[in-house]
């Protein structure tokens, strides 16, 4: 190995070592990319224990996964083009305005999981929209062969009720 190559390798090694780590250490000792994400470790522990019965792949997990879809799918560019409100997708509106959205025919049965989830979101002060997607992503990891879904936080906790007829029916 030439001296020049050695110097280049040493410089690279130093550069790697010198890269500043932005990771934050949370109160429970776990680390994450940013301190604002620490709350999700608390939510994780709480829902695995108290919503998903100790990390099971039970009915709360199935219902939570379904809820991610029923909150997110009402988003209609067509309605917007007509000058009407077309929903804002995964915005937590199904929980914030559950009295309206659970009355939609296609949402039959989602009321139970909404009521089960809501206190966790309120307790941890995270938005309904974030909570619904997080619970779905965590839940499927409890199921054998389930995927590890990416979760992105940051949804506002402000929403309008989605319009009816945007959640597809089986037919
Ligand atoms: C056009 C799309 C879809 C239609 C028409 C549809 C329809 C349905 C229907 C009719 C049920 C049975 C509900 C009942 O218990 O009466 C159901 C359950 C379910 N759906 Fe969908 N679905 C769709 C898309 C999705 C997607 C994208 C997901 C996942 C993100 C999903 C996850 C689930 C789960 C997990 C259940 C079982 C819930 C439980 O066991 O409580 N569905 N779906």
C-alpha–C-alpha distance, residues 105 and 54, integer Å: 32
Average pLDDT, the chain: 91
Ligand 1 centroid, distance to 66 Cα (angstroms) = 5
C-alpha–C-alpha distance, residues 131 and 117, integer Å: 8
19: confidence class by pLDDT, cuts 50, 70, 90: low
Residue 78 neighbours by CB under 8 Å, 6+ apart:
86
Per-residue buried b or exposed e for 93-113, using 16+ beta carbons within 10 Å of the residue's own CB? bbbbebebbbebebbeebeeb
Give the predicted TM-score (pTM) of the model: 0.89
- 101 or 8: which leads in pLDDT: 101
- Overall average pLDDT of the 57-66 stretch: 98
Residue 3 has pLDDT above 80, yes or no: no
Among 69, 110, 111, 139, say which to mutate for ligand 1: greatest number of ligand atoms within 8 Å of CB.
69
- Residue-wise pLDDT tens digits, 33-59: 999 999 999 999 999 999 999 999 999
Residue nearest to atom 5 of ligand 1 (CA): 170
Q: What is the per-residue pLDDT for 21?
A: 60
C-alpha–C-alpha distance, residues 87 and 94, integer Å: 11
Residue 65 has pLDDT above 60, yes or no: yes
- Overall average pLDDT of the 17-42 stretch: 85
Residue 120 neighbours by CB under 8 Å, 6+ apart:
43, 46, 47, 50, 51, 131, 135
C-alpha–C-alpha distance, residues 170 and 145, integer Å: 25
Tokens standing for residue 94: 């199904």
Residue 25 neighbours by CB under 8 Å, 6+ apart:
31
Q: What is the per-residue pLDDT for 6?
A: 43
C-alpha–C-alpha distance, residues 1 and 7, integer Å: 10
Q: What is the per-residue pLDDT for 43?
A: 98
Q: What is the per-residue pLDDT for 4?
A: 54
Residue 109 has pLDDT above 50, yes or no: yes
C-alpha–C-alpha distance, residues 118 and 116, integer Å: 6
Ligand 1 centroid, distance to 17 Cα (angstroms) = 48
**62 labelled catalytic:** no
Q: What is the per-residue pLDDT for 22?
A: 74
**Segments making up each domain of the chain, as ranges:** 24-171
Q: Which CATH number fits domain 24-171: 3.30.413.10, 1.10.10.10, 1.10.520.10, 3.30.300.20?
A: 1.10.520.10
Query: Would you give the DSSP letter of residue 89?
Result: S
- Overall average pLDDT of the 78-84 stretch: 98
- Overall average pLDDT of the 119-141 stretch: 98
Q: Which residues line ligand 1 (CB under 6 A)?
A: 59, 62-63, 65-66, 68-69, 109, 168, 170
Catalytic residue among 34, 62, 70, 97: 70
Query: In sequence order, what DSSP letters do the residues of 1-66 get, joined into one string?
Result: --HHHHHHHHHHHHHHHHSPP--EE-TTS-EESSGGGTHHHHHHHHHHHHTSTTT--SHHHHHHHH
């Amino acid at each position: 190995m030439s001296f020049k190559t050695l110097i280049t390798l040493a410089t690279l090694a130093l550069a790697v070592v010198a890269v500043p780590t932005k990771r934050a250490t949370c109160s429970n000792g776990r680390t994450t990319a940013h301190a604002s994400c620490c709350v999700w470790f608390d939510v994780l522990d709480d829902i695995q224990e108290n919503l998903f019965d100790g990390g099971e792949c039970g009915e709360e997990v199935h219902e939570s996964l379904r809820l991610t879809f029923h909150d997110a799918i009402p988003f209609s560019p067509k309605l917007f083009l007509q000058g009407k409100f077309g929903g804002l997708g995964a915005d937590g509106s199904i929980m914030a305005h559950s009295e309206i959205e659970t009355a939609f025919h296609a949402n039959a049965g989602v009321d139970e999981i909404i009521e089960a989830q809501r206190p966790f979101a309120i307790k941890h002060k995270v938005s309904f929209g974030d909570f619904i997607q997080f619970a779905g992503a965590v839940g499927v990891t409890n199921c054998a062969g389930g995927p590890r879904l990416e979760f992105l936080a940051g949804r506002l906790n402000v929403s309008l009720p989605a319009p009816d007829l945007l959640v597809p029916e089986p037919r």
